Structure 1
Amino acid sequence: METVTEILRKVGATVTFRNGTVTVNAARVRNFRAAQLSRKNRLPVLAIAPLLHRLGRAEVPYVGADRPWVRLSAPRDRDGVAGDNLGARPVDFHLSALRKMGARIVVTRDSYKARAKRLHGTTIALPYPSVGATETVLLASVLADGITIIKNAAGEPEVVDLISCLQKMGALIELDTNRVIRVEGVKKLHGTEHRVIPDRMEAAAFAVLAVATKGNILVRDAEAKHLITFLNALRKVGGEYRVEKNGIRFFRTGPLKPYAIETAPHPGFMTDWQPPFTVLLMLARGRSTVHETVYEDRFGYISEFNRLGARIEVVERCIKNPCRFAGGGYSHSIVIHGPTRLKGAAISVPDIRAGLAHLVVALTARGKSVISGIEHIDRGYEKIDTRLRRLGAQVVRRRAG
């Protein structure tokens, strides 16, 4: 939210917060340059299409310029997007779509510079059902001339929620079968009120925490329909849940059991659920596996887990089903030998979801743990230390040094 607010204010919008509600007034948006924003987040790329519609120009930071991106198995020129260091996150999907819709884009080491008098509708076939690329095309197509067809679009609840919001603002969008979205451009959009969906990553994180620590946690407002694959996996490993009037209650009734996980785009097992869920598999007796098919380099946190007492092998082979990383030399699968007797230690957090997993490990381990790099956790989980203390955890936040 901080990054989004920074973008909006940079281009001239006013943003106010009150009682959990954000109000945005975009009447005075005059600045197309947002290139001086923080490079720590890939969200500025999503501002390109709205700025092109509004001002005909856009300039946002090239947030991948200082990152050692790994190529996928099909070599080609690509632009990287920062965020967590999970492997290549190409924005060429975004840029090629915008170019096909009429944008002229120049990529420098510091920024993406785009121009367009008008964007026009076309057919966009995404090479992969990327959430960010789907959102970019949606934001570009709602005010473009003509009709835009998005093939192989992402179908995550967050994408559907964006579509719902855009429809309230006057957009004409149809969801078809087989990951196809049809957008008929309109002349203008108007303001609206919209309640965003609950954070399903956060709901899963607290579910894992409850099961790992043998606790009992009610996650208010959590939606079971957004967590179907996760809830099934949680029950398979020995966790349990109960849907209540005001949320979902998570708990555990017996020993944890080994399981095989394979990440995939929605409605599959979400890649962001993978690091916290790995903690449960570490605690289960027997052999578990995780096959990561979304990012080719998402197991950087495993060495830290092994240092804390886990027995996890990182392997290059696909487990269960062949995926797009097969034969590419990517360490995208793990084999877990449990159970693990975790011990407290000094822990360094590499990214948001792995950071939450490390926090669960620390709360499960015997003894005291000291966690550094908590800014990664803060990016994804608001006031996490305060909420954990309310649940009975002994967590103290201290400034470095």
Structure 2
Amino acid sequence: MQKIVINGGRPLKGEVAVSGAKNSVVALIPAIILADEPVTLDGVPAISDVDSLIDIIETMGASVDRQGETLVIDPRGIRDIPMPYGKINSLRASYYFYGSLLGRYGQAVVGLPGGCDLGPRPIDLHLKAFEAMGAIISYEGEYMRLSARENGLNGANIYMDTVSVGATINTMLAAVKAKGRTVIENAAREPEIIDVATLLNNMGAHIRGAGTDEIIIEGVEQLHGTRHQVIPDRIEAGTYIALAAAVGEGIRVTNVLYEHLEAFIGKLSEMGVRMTVEEDAIVVDKQENLKAIHVKTSPYPGFATDLQQPLTPLLLRAQGRGSIVDTIYEKRVNHVPELARMGADITTVGTKITYSGPNKLTGAPVKATDLRAGAALVIAGLMAEGTTEITNIEFILRGYSNIIEKLTQLGADIRLVD
């Protein structure tokens, strides 16, 4: 067991670089299974989810060479074998192997996915799309068996009953080698979907409309190798921007795409956060006289659910009374009791969070209940007077590359302790 120990109350300053997007790379790696040649990814973050995915594809027979942020995967040795349940169960994004294995082999036997407990996150939309393309689905204990009919997968018109990033990407993975045309209506529009579509197109796929609510895929027989730069992680960028506003005395956050963060930046401006937007960076000044706001999450390009929790500690600095409503995940409130343990005036009723401020936080032993809740507790620990000990940090290490080193360079007193 490891924990993060933070001695808070220290102002931070300097520069921090955003790593490649977790929510892209966890789909890009399974997508490479569809290639007939090696693929190189640049900007791969050093997170445990990537470690797990590499373990899985190496178990399947892929050759992997990892040098810093560059990952070269040769999928030619991959065999159609049952996916190991223990590793599959360790992360949510393992469900992308459903689409990629179906697309390559016309069948897959995989364990059910794991990940953070954020409430019901059914994969019925994924399975409905696969069935529309001709897949047959059955369950065998802890495994799911997916198999195409004798004539393989066929293009289909698929309407997503709700907007789903995972189902949109998984459908693209299954459809790129299916016979004919697949149309995904009510598709999710997140930047990570565009990133995956860009990789697939560079491998020889024919995908149009990624980033809109209608994606059209013309099936191809083969996909070749390519080199691809992973987009910057907009959630990590938002986390460090919120941190900079909460405890910074001048922090420059680099490798940022502003257009991916417009809803988030808009809410910070509403609070009165002073910052300067540069071409690929955002400079956050020392803050005074912040005001409370109301936040409601929604699918992209709305306010991202993944940024709701990292924003919460900054809201606790604001004057007045405000609220947060997460319309995506019902358990995105589990950070609230932990913040209250640190002295925050914050409560929940159902999925609505209500807070009053400004607050003075005090260090305390707290527990990360999921990835973004963990990020919120790190920021709160940096704000608080005294020592904060965070347990369950495996959640944090799943999604924030070199977070201890990056914060230490800004002047934080933070360390990883066994």
1:48 aligns with 2:67: no
Instruction: Name the counterpart of 1:113.
Output: 145
Residue type at the aligned position of 1:46: Y
Q: Does structure 1 retain, via aligned residues, the 8 Å contact 2:189–2:212? A: no
Asked whether the 8 Å contact 1:155–1:266 carries over to 2, the reply is: yes
Counterpart CA distance in 2 for 1:248 and 1:17 is: 30
C-alpha distance 246-300 of structure 1, shift in aligned 2 (>3 A):
closer
Q: Is the 8 A contact 2:248 2:284 kept in 1?
A: no
CA distance in 2 between counterparts of 1:176 and 1:203 reads: 22
The normalised TM-score by structure 2 is: 0.84
Q: 2:363 aligns with which of 329, 337, 344?
A: 344
Provide the residue aligned with 1:372 in structure 2.
Answer: 391
Number of the residue aligned with 2:125: 93
What one-letter code is carried by the residue in structure 1 that aligns with 2:308?
Answer: Q
Cα distance in 2 for partners of 1:246, 1:225 equals: 10
User: Which one of 345, 348, 357 corresponds to residue 376 of structure 2?
Assistant: 357
Aligned equivalent of 1:27:
76
Give the distance between the partners of 2:358 and 2:308, measured in 1 at CA: 18
Q: What are the equivalent positions in structure 2 for 1:186-225 lying under 5 Å apart?
A: 186-225=220-259
Cα pair 1:256 1:280 within 8 Å, conserved: no
Q: CA deviation at 1:248?
A: 2.0
Q: Give the conservation status (yes or no) of the 8 Å contact 2:194–2:211.
A: no
The corresponding residue for 1:259 is: 293
Per the TM alignment, residue 86 of structure 1 is displaced from its structure 2 partner at its CA by: 0.9
For residues 403 and 287 of structure 2, the distance between their equivalents in structure 1, rounded to whole angstroms, comes to 26
Mapped partners of 2:291, 2:323: distance in 1: 12
Residue 167 of structure 1 pairs with residue 235 of structure 2: no
Alignment of 1:137-286 (within 5 A): 137-175=171-209, 179-286=213-320
- Secondary structure in 2 matching 1:93: helix
> For 2:209, what is the secondary structure of its paired residue?
strand
Gaps of 5+ in 2: 1-49
Q: For 1:303-338, what per-residue CA distance to the aligned partner results, in whole angstroms no more than 9, with x for missing partners?
A: 1111211122212xxxxxxxxxxxxxxx11111111
**Residues 1:127 and 2:161 aligned together:** yes
Q: Which residue of structure 2 aligns with residue 83 of structure 1?
A: 115
Q: What is the CA deviation profile of residues 202-260 of structure 1, one whole-angstrom value per residue up to 9, with x for unaligned ones?
A: 10111111100133222221111111111111121122322335522223342211111
Cα distance in 2 for partners of 1:105, 1:220 equals 45
The 1:42–1:249 alpha-carbon spacing in structure 2 relative to 1, beyond 3 Å, is same
Contact 2:194–2:210 under 8 Å retained in 1: no
1:96-151, CA deviations, whole angstroms, 9 ceiling, x for partnerless residues?
11111111111244121111241111111111111100000000111111111101
Q: Which has the higher contact order (CA 8 A, sep 6+)?
A: 2
Q: Quick one: which amino acid aligns to residue 346 of structure 1? A: P
Offset at 1:59? 1.4
Residues of 1 paired with 2:118 and 2:249: CA distance? Answer: 31
Q: Is the contact made by 2:257 and 2:280 (CA closer than 8 Å) also made in structure 1?
A: no
Tell me how many residue pairs correspond in the alignment: 366
Assess, with a 3 A threshold, how the Cα gap between structure 1 residues 176 and 46 changes in structure 2: closer, same or farther.
closer
**Equivalent position SS for 1:310:** coil
TM superposition shift of 1:27:
0.9
CA distance, structure 1, for counterparts of residue 211 and residue 310 of structure 2: 32
Instruction: Report the CA distance between 1:360 and its aligned residue.
Output: 0.4
Report the CA distance shift for 1:252/1:232 in structure 2 as closer, same or farther (over 3 A). farther
Determine which of 378, 400, 407 is the counterpart of 1:388: 407
Q: CA RMSD in A?
A: 1.5
- Cα distance in 1 for residues equivalent to 2:197 and 2:210: 13
Query: Structure 1 residues 295 and 246, CA, compared in 2 at 3 Å: closer, same or farther?
Result: closer
From 307, 317, 320, give the equivalent of 2:341: 307
2-side partners of 1:271 and 1:126: how far apart? Answer: 19
Question: Structure 1 stretches of 5 or more lacking a match?
Answer: 64-81, 316-330
More off after superposition, 361-370 vs 28-37: 28-37
CA distance in 1, matches of 2:413, 2:130: 49
Q: What percentage of aligned pairs have identical amino acids?
A: 37
Q: Which amino acid aligns with 2:96?
A: L
Tell me the secondary structure at the aligned position of residue 416 of structure 2: coil
Q: What letter corresponds to residue 34 of structure 1 in structure 2?
A: M
Q: Is contact 1:13–1:28 with CA below 8 Å preserved after alignment? A: yes
The alpha-carbon deviation at position 178 of structure 1 amounts to: 6.0
Q: Would the aligned equivalents of 2:164 and 2:188 in 1 still touch at CA under 8 Å?
A: yes
Q: Which amino acid aligns with 2:122?
A: P
Question: Per-residue deviation at 1:32?
Answer: 2.9
Distance in 2 between the 1:365 and 1:374 partners?
18
Which residue in 2 is equivalent to 1:12? 61
Contact 1:257 1:286 in 2 (8 A): yes
TM-score (norm. length: structure 1): 0.88
Question: Which consecutive segments of 4 or more residues in structure 1 shift more than 3 A?
Answer: none
* Shift of residue 398, structure 1, vs aligned partner: 0.8
Q: C-alpha separation between the residues in 2 aligned to 1:217 and 1:333?
A: 31
The question of whether the paired residues in 1 share the 8 Å contact of 2:363 and 2:386 is answered with yes
CA contact (8 A) 1:93 1:126 kept: yes
